[in-house]
Amino acid sequence: MKKIHSLLCMLLLVVSFSSCESNDDNNNSGPNDAAFAENFGNTASKDFIGQIVDIYNNPIQGVTIKIGSLSTQTDVNGVFILNGAEVYERFAHITATKSGYIDGSRSMVPTSGKNNVKIMLLPNDPLETIQSGVTSEVSIYSGTKIVFDGAFVDANGNDYSGSVQVAMFHLTPTDENISKLMPGMLYAQTETNEQAVLETFGMINVELRGSAGQKLNIKEGHTAEITMRIDDSQLATAPSSIPLWHFDEERGYWKEDGVATKVGNKYVGEVSHFSWWNCDAPFPLVTLTVTIVDANGNGISNVGVGLIANGNTWPVMGYTNNQGQISGLVPSNQTIVLNVYPDYYGCNSSNIIYTTSIGPFSANTTLPNIVINNSSTTMSSTVVGNLVKCNNTNVTNGYVILNRAGGYSVSPVTNGAFSFNEIYCPSNTQFTLKGYDMENLQTTDSIAYNFTSPITTIGNLQACTAVDEFISYQVDNNPTVFLIQSVNGGASGQGTPNTNGFYLSGFNNNDQSSIYIWGSTNVPGVYTTDEFSIEGGIGYIYSGTTNTLQFNLNQVGAVGQYIDMTFSGTYTDSNGVHTLTGVAHVIRDN
C-alpha cells in the first residue's frame, strides 16, 4: 500500500519535508508580510535532526542545510543535526540546497525535543532548450505544459537573449512522495492576508537557465501560460476555477497569486514569474498536536501520522519526533481520518497499525496520547545504549542510525547516551546500528541486533573507524572494558561444546579484563545461561550461577563475516548482585 501519499495540505505534521527550487526573485516580499508573520508567535530555540535523500531514497552528502541563522552540511548518510536554531514558536523553515538538485525545503510547526525532518531532492535536469524572442511551448507526458512568450531577464533584471534551458516537474497529489517532495508545507497567505491550509490539485516547478548557467525569469510585464492536468481521482470534484499560489522560497509558505480555470481535464492560468506554482483550494485552519506512545507511555519516534480530510483518498504524512510528538496545521470544522504507519515494510497488507476519526476542530487542539499496544502484528521496544570515542570517552557530538526492514531512525547522543523507541514486526526483529562521532569523524561498523520487548539493551558502541571488531562489557558502574586486539570468534573448536555452537573471546595482556563466551547454538535468538556461559575478568557465569542474563544472538555469519551478540542482566557472586551489559562484534575465524 502507498502510505506516503499526500493530497491534503493539512499535512505538515511536524516532520515531512520537501524539495524544490524556484526563480521567485522578485516576489519574495509584500506589504503584508510583517503583519502575517505575527501568526507565528515569538522566536524560540529549537533542535532539528533529519535526512536528505534523492528520488531513489539514497542519502545525499554535502547538502547545505539552513535553519534561521544556522547552517550545516549533511554527512555520508545524508544526516544533519542543528541544535539551538532560532525559529518561531509556530513556524520553522528549513532549506536544503546542493548543486545539481532543485532547492528543497520543509516548513513545520516545531515541537520540543528533536524535530524530525525528511526531504527528498529532485534532480535539476533540463527538459528542453528554447530560444528567447520567440513563442515556445514545453510539455511533459501528462499533458501539463507551459507557453513562453520569449521575454526573459537575468537575476539582476537585465534583458536576456539566447538559449534558455527549461527544467520542469509536475507533482501530482497522488505521488506517494508528495510530502517529501513539495516545498514548505501546504500553509498559505491569502490575498486578504489570512492564514489557510490548502488542498492541492497539483503543483508545478519550473527553472530557467541561460547559456552560462545563470538563473532566468520572465520579464516584468510579461506572462507565461501554464496548463496543468488534473489528477483523474480529483476530476469529478475539481471546481471550475481555483486560486493559483506561488511558493515564497525566502519565507517558506504559499501566497495567493491569480486564478486558474478548468478546461476539460486541465487547469489553465497565467503566471508572471516562476517558482513552484500550486492549484489549491484554501481552508481555515487550526493547529493539531498528536503524541504516539507505547503501552508504557514511552513516545514512539519516527512513525508516520497520516491525515485524510475532505473525502480524499490519500493521507498527508508527517513523522513523530524523538518524543513521539508531531504538530501541524489541519482544516478546521472537518472530520479527519488519522492513521498511524510504521516507517518500515509493515506486517499486514494495509500497513496501518492504528486508525481513528477525529474532529471536527474549531480551535487549536492537543489530542490525548494515542497508545499503540503490542499485538500479534506489532511490538514496541526501547533501544538504549552508549556511544564512545576511540579513547573510550563519551561522544558529545554525534548520532546513531538504526536501520530495519525498509525504514530508518536517527538518535542524537547526549553525553554518549542514545535511545530509540521503535515499533517492529514480531516476524522480523532484526535491525542494525551504526554510530557516528561527528567531532572526530569516526564511526562504528554497522552492527546487527534483534529487538526484544520491552527493552533492547545495547551497551557501549565505540566510534573508532580503525576498529573492525571488538568485545565490550561493563559491570555495574565501572568503566567499560573494550577488547579490540586479541579478539576471536568461531563456530567450532577451542572447547566449544558442540559443532552447532560458537565461541567469542577477547584478551588483554594482563588478562584481568579478558572474556570468553561460548554457547550450544549458533541460531540467532534470545537465550539464557542454559545455552551460554561466560568466564574471564568477571568470573564464571553459567547455568548454576544465580542470574537474569539474556544473550541476544543477532547473527552468525560465514567465515570472514561477523558474529554479533549483546548480553545484559544481573548475576550474583560472593560480593553480591552485579549488573552486566556487553556487545560483541567479532569476525568469524573458523
pLDDT tens digits for range 206-241: 999 999 989 999 999 999 999 999 988 888 889 999
In this predicted structure, what is the pLDDT of residue 345? 59
Those residues whose C-beta lies under 8 Å from the C-beta of residue 228, and which sit 6 or more positions away, are 144, 170, 201, 202, 204, 260, 266, 267, 268, 279
Same domain? For 263 and 391 the reply is: no
Higher pLDDT, 530 or 311: 530
Higher pLDDT, 76 or 165: 165
- In three-state form (DSSP H/G/I as H, E/B as E, the rest C), the secondary structure along 482-535 is EECCEEEEECCCCCCCCCCCEEEEEECCCCCCCEEEEECCCCCEEECCCCEEEE
Higher pLDDT, 416 or 343: 416
Same domain? For 254 and 385 the reply is: no
Write the burial class of residue 123 (CB in 10 Å: 0-12 exposed, 13-18 middle, 19+ buried): exposed
Give the rounded percent of residues in the chain with a pLDDT score beyond 70: 90
Q: Residue 485 — very low, low, confident or very high, per pLDDT cuts 50/70/90?
A: low
Q: Residue 167 — very low, low, confident or very high, per pLDDT cuts 50/70/90?
A: very high
pLDDT tens digits for range 37-46: 999 999 999 9
Does residue 82 belong to any structural domain of this protein? no
Asked if 344 contacts 373 with a C-beta cutoff of 8 angstroms, the reply is: no
Tracing cell 538559449 back to the chain, one arrives at: 163
Does residue 330 belong to any structural domain of this protein? no
Same domain? For 409 and 541 the reply is: yes
Does residue 249 belong to any structural domain of this protein? yes
Question: Does 15 score more than 60 pLDDT?
Answer: no
Question: Does 12 score more than 50 pLDDT?
Answer: no
Q: Which of 11-25, 73-87, 370-384 has the lowest mean pLDDT?
A: 11-25
pLDDT tens digits for range 451-462: 999 999 999 999
Last residue of a domain, one of 255, 283, 311: 283
Rg of the Cα atoms in the chain: 27
The domain total for the chain is 2
Cα 544 from chain centroid? Answer: 47
All cell numbers assigned to 334: 472537518
Does residue 92 belong to any structural domain of this protein? no
Question: Does 497 score more than 50 pLDDT?
Answer: no
pTM (predicted TM-score): 0.70
CA distance 68 to 85: 6
CB crowding 340-368: b at 16 or more within 10 Å, else e: bbbbbebbeeebbbbeeebbebeeeeeee
Q: Residue 85 — very low, low, confident or very high, per pLDDT cuts 50/70/90?
A: very high
Q: Residue 20 — very low, low, confident or very high, per pLDDT cuts 50/70/90?
A: very low
Does residue 370 belong to any structural domain of this protein? no
Does residue 307 belong to any structural domain of this protein? no
Higher pLDDT, 241 or 7: 241
CA distance 566 to 458: 6
All cell numbers assigned to 491: 563456530
Phi/psi at 131 (5° precision): -120, 145
Pairing of strands 379-388, 455-462: parallel
Q: Residue 314 — very low, low, confident or very high, per pLDDT cuts 50/70/90?
A: low
> Considering the chain, what is the average pLDDT of its residues?
86
Does residue 73 belong to any structural domain of this protein? no
Task: List Cα–Cα distances, 30 to 95, 157, 315, in angstroms.
Answer: 21, 18, 33
Q: Residue 134 — very low, low, confident or very high, per pLDDT cuts 50/70/90?
A: very high
Same domain? For 387 and 253 the reply is: no
Q: Residue 11 — very low, low, confident or very high, per pLDDT cuts 50/70/90?
A: very low
Question: Does 467 score more than 90 pLDDT?
Answer: no
In this predicted structure, what is the pLDDT of residue 512? 63
Phi/psi at 110 (5° precision): -75, 150
In this predicted structure, what is the pLDDT of residue 247? 95
CA distance 238 to 99: 37
Same domain? For 266 and 409 the reply is: no
Mean pLDDT on 257-279: 93
Domain that holds residue 248: 128-283
Same domain? For 257 and 398 the reply is: no
Same domain? For 395 and 531 the reply is: yes
Asked if 66 contacts 50 with a C-beta cutoff of 8 angstroms, the reply is: no
Going 26 to 28 to 34 to 36, the CA torsion angle's sign is positive
Last residue of a domain, one of 221, 251, 283: 283
Question: Does 119 score more than 70 pLDDT?
Answer: yes
CA angle 472, 519, 541 (to 5 degrees): 65
Does residue 136 belong to any structural domain of this protein? yes
CA distance 177 to 446: 28
In this predicted structure, what is the pLDDT of residue 344? 65
Q: Residue 406 — very low, low, confident or very high, per pLDDT cuts 50/70/90?
A: low
Those residues whose C-beta lies under 8 Å from the C-beta of residue 589, and which sit 6 or more positions away, are 488, 489, 490, 559
Q: Which of 89-93, 215-219, 293-297 has the lowest mean pLDDT?
A: 293-297
How many Cβ atoms sit within 10 Å of the Cβ of residue 540?
Answer: 13
All cell numbers assigned to 199: 488542498
Same domain? For 262 and 394 the reply is: no
Task: List Cα–Cα distances, 480 to 401, 505, 571, in angstroms.
Answer: 22, 16, 17
Listed in order, strand segments (DSSP E) in 344-465 are: 354-358, 365-366, 370-372, 379-388, 398-404, 407-412, 417-424, 430-437, 442-443, 447-450, 455-462
pLDDT tens digits for range 468-481: 788 888 899 887 78
CATH number at residue 157: 2.60.220
Mean pLDDT on 357-375: 92
Last residue of a domain, one of 236, 262, 283: 283
Q: Is 28 helix (H, G, I), strand (E, B) or coil?
A: coil
CATH number at residue 530: 2.60.40.10
